[in-house]
Amino acid sequence: MSYIHFPVIAVMGQFLAAFLVAIFGSKSRKASQAITLIASACAFVLVCLLIKPVALDGQIISYWMGNWEPVSGYAIGIGYEMDALGLFFAVLVSFIILMSAIYSLRYLEHDEAVDRYYTLFLMLSGSLLGLVMTGDLFNMFIMIEIMTFSAVGLTAFRNYIPEALEAAMKYLVIGSVGSSMTLAGVALLYAQTHTLNMAQVAAKIGAMQASGGLTPTVVFAFGLMFVGFGIKSFMFPFHTPVADAHPVAPTSFSMVFSTMVIKAGVYGLIRIAYIVFQVMDKSSVQILITAFGCVTMFLGVTMALAQHDFKRLLAFHSISQIGYIITALGLGTALGLTGSLFHVMNHTLFKALLFMCAGAVLHMTGSKNLDELGGLSKKMPHTTICFLIAAFSIAGIPPFNGFASKWMIYQATYEKAVESGNFFYALVTVVAVVVSVLTLASFIKVTMSVFFGQLPEKYKDAKEAPASMLIPMWITAILCLGTGVLYQLVDRTLTAPAVAASLTPANYVDKMMGSGYAASFSVKDAVATAVQHMSYWNPVLWLTLLVIVMLGVFIVILSGDNERGPVLKTKEPVADGKYATFFSGEKYRHSHMGGSDLFWGFKHDMKPYFDFIEEKHSGVLTDYTLWTIVAMAVIVVYTFVFVK
């Protein structure tokens, strides 16, 4: 039974380490790195030890701080409650934190005052772990606040870059709007249910639903909290701070930001919609969440197509992938939720890997401009292979993990369309497939312009990234392939228990408040049906096919006369002539293929659309705040009118 203490040790260990870094780190860089590594490794081990009891044996850990247990049915203390859903996110958080800690050892070697970085980093990881483990609404708000403020501080870590301060300011303002919405929602819920414990709130709301529907205050609270967590997950139209924050933030933070900080919002959405409010069986809520997710994924990928900055492009892709996740979780079906959670995991893996590759390129060449870079595959082979694996995964090419989860999402949306007879969901399936194609196009552009083609003269001395950066990259790359091929194992150990936990709020309530509590408030479990996730899909066959195709490609490459030089042959500036109206002859045969040269025809044809969205992303904070407020108003009015 000693494992019930593990969640709180994991969380408090991170906070303790953060303060220890603040004490001992200012003198020595080694001390802060050692403390960070030890703390993140401990958290990872502790969380992994919980997989057996929580996910496989189906227990729920309930832990009352200071042993203040509920008195006569009222929760009076702060409780931690770790079910399989929380564990699923906690495993991902602690894994990414550990990878990022290893990656940052060398990545931050040119930066000063790394003790501040590591203090904020450990606060961030502690708050993320606390967020997914807590069973208390106000505690959740506190963790979100710590998360937002440490993320803002880390965004502005390189404060000699003016853009970093600007991006941090945007994130601060929009993130604070989100926190205030969450707090207002929590306050309204407290007024209605007189408790802050999530299990007890869920029980009270279950009783409310059984006897004549939600009261307007609860509906209002749901709208506010949906907006609050939507802002934390950066769905449309709250996605604007991400794009500015990523290019200037240190990459070791970008990978946590893009993977786990925005997943914290997704976790919050799942937790409140499925367990606290239990509103996912209402078609109005399903349409609301799915529509926002759908717009998010389309807008994200089209904005990504137009980018020239490596990390800004990845930022828009993470918005797009979050769109997939929100779309699938909004379906309210077991298959949709499975696809959503599986995509959460896959996105965490491949997006962390993409950012690590982008960071390696930035660290070794000093540039993240897609139009300048090129031909780095000869200089950085490990980074190139890792990047290819990640790009295949995000583009959804079998047998990598992105395909598995996207396939589930297509199936889930289509199944929903057939079940409900609503044309909207069929449209969502089409959009999801189109977005996947556009993602592939966008990553062909990045791969061609950064890793293949001609190597510009100034990068001919570029070296491979150091081992401390390559190790986390390879671990993540192997996991990207592994989770795609062995998806059934992953499903059995992590995803399926998490889905089951999300669909059984009564279980959650009973464990926290004492058995029989849920039944007394008539909390009903959704019917969790066993689903055939992947019909006609055998990843091992696809892996074999991929290996054969790759072998063929290598044979063709090796047998061909590879006369392409490693260094750019033209001496003239690239911009001359290549963009001229008429050009002939072989003079520019070896000119560099920049990022903006690919898919120009597509962008030309869709010019009105691209002009429109690029003009709307003006970069002005007041505009973005206005979008946020308008969207909040729309969502709140929608919930009032349609959610009963």
Partner 1 sequence: MKFKNGIKEKNIIVKCGADAIMPFSLMFGFYIICFGTISPGGGFQGGVIVAAACILLYLAYGHKTTTTAINEEFIRVNEAIGAVLYVLLGFCGLFIGVRFCENVFYEFFNIGDPLSAGTITYMSYAVGYKVLTGVGFLLLLMIGTLIGGDDDEEEVEA
CB of 119 to partner 1, least distance (A): 8
E strands of 454-579, at which residues?
Answer: none
Q: How far is the CB of 196 from partner 1 (least distance, A)?
A: 17
- What is the distance between the alpha carbons of residues 347 and 530, in angstroms, rounded to a whole number? 24
Q: Retrieve residue 475's tokens.
A: 């671990």
Closest CA to 35 of 155, 96, 118: 118
Nearer to partner 1, 64 or 425 (CB): 64
**Per-residue CA distances from 303 to 62, 572, 595, 624 (Å):** 43, 32, 14, 16
How near is the Cβ of 5 to partner 1 at its closest, in Å? 6
**114 vs 279 by CB, closer to partner 1:** 114
> Between 63 and 387, whose beta carbon lies closer to partner 1?
63
**SS3 for 28?**
coil
> Considering only CA atoms, which of 258, 253, 235, 117 is closest in space to residue 178?
235
Q: Smallest distance, Å, CB 232 to partner 1?
A: 25
Q: What is the CA radius of gyration of the chain?
A: 24
- Closer to partner 1 by Cβ: residue 67 or 529: 67
Provide, rounded to whole angstroms, the least separation between the CB of residue 11 and partner 1.
9
| CB closer to partner 1, 86 vs 595 | 86
C-alpha to C-alpha distance for 33 and 118, rounded to whole angstroms = 8
First to last CA, the chain: 42
- Spatial separation of the C-alpha atoms in residues 140 and 129, rounded to whole Å: 11
Contact 170, 624 (CB under 8 A): yes
Distances (CA, A) of 538 to 1, 336, 399, 534, 542: 40, 20, 9, 8, 7
What distance in Å separates the CA atoms of residue 497 and residue 430, rounded to the nearest whole number? Answer: 29
Task: Confirm if 344 and 569 have CB atoms less than 8 A apart.
Answer: no
CB of 184 to partner 1, least distance (A): 24
3-state secondary structure of 379: coil
How many C-alpha atoms does 136 have within 13 Å on its Cβ side? 17
User: Helices (H), strands (E): how many in the chain?
Assistant: 27, 2
Instruction: Give CA–CA dist 330/324, Å, rounded.
Output: 10
Confirm if 505 and 278 have CB atoms less than 8 A apart: yes
* Minimum distance, C-beta of residue 616 to partner 1, in the bound complex (Å): 36
Taking the complex as a whole, how short is the minimal distance between the CB of residue 203 and partner 1, in angstroms? 23
* Shorter beta-carbon distance to partner 1: residue 64 or 107: 64
Give the footprint of partner 1 on this chain (CB under 8 A): 5, 8-9, 12, 15-16, 19-20, 22-23, 26, 63-67
Compare residues 64 and 171 and give the one whose CB is closer to partner 1.
64
Closer to partner 1 at the Cβ: 59 or 422?
Answer: 59
Unique residue bearing structure tokens 């904005």: 303
Beta carbon nearer to partner 1, 124 or 409 = 124
The residue (of 35 and 404) whose beta carbon lies closer to partner 1 is 35
Measured in degrees and rounded to the nearest 5, phi and psi for residue 294 equal: -65, -45
Token pair 């300048």 is found at: 372
Judged by beta carbon, residue 127 or residue 193, the one nearer partner 1 is: 127
The kind and range of the H/E element at 219 are helix 216-232
Distance in Å, CB of 16 to partner 1, minimum: 5
Work out how close the CB of 378 gets to partner 1 at its nearest, in angstroms, rounded to a whole number.
47
What is the closest distance, in whole angstroms, from the C-beta atom of residue 397 to partner 1 in the complex? 46
Which residue, 136 or 244, is less far from partner 1 as judged by CB?
A: 136
Shortest distance in whole angstroms from residue 7 CB to partner 1: 10
Residue 214 corresponds to which amino acid?
A: L
